[in-house]
Amino acid sequence: MAFFKLEHLTNLYDGYRQTFSINGLSLLLIQDEGQRYLFLNQCPHQQAPLSNGTVTKGEIHCAYHGMRFNLQTGSTLDGCNERIQFFTLAYEGSSLGVDI
């Protein structure tokens, strides 16, 4: 595994959203209500990018299909059995990243 730096901690704020391409994967890093989440930038319902969705009150809403996903669990709030694929965040000094 290798550490991939994503962002300086001082640049993060509620509403932060950025996509990253690492090892052929499109990842989405967001911060909502003081919590940071890193997940595959792909709606598990029909694989649309989640980076175009809206984030409110601990949920991300897919812009293409309207599916809503809980940011804590990754599960849908709309009856689909699929879940968002999360990645564990890693910290190195004042940087936030991921070990892949």
DSSP state of 83: B
> From CA 3, how far away is CA 25, in angstroms rounded?
15
1 band by pLDDT with thresholds 50, 70 and 90: confident
Instruction: Identify the pLDDT of residue 100.
Output: 86
Q: Is the pTM of this model over 0.85?
A: yes
Q: Where along the chain do its domains lie?
A: 3-99
> From CA 7, how far away is CA 56, in angstroms rounded?
22
- 48-86 pLDDT, tens digit each: 999 999 998 899 999 998 899 999 999 998 878 889 999
- 5-33 pLDDT, tens digit each: 999 999 999 999 999 999 999 999 999 99
Instruction: Identify the pLDDT of residue 70.
Output: 95
Does the pLDDT at position 34 exceed 90? yes
CATH class of the structural domain 3-99: mainly beta
CA end-to-end span of the chain, whole Å? 5
DSSP state of 42: S
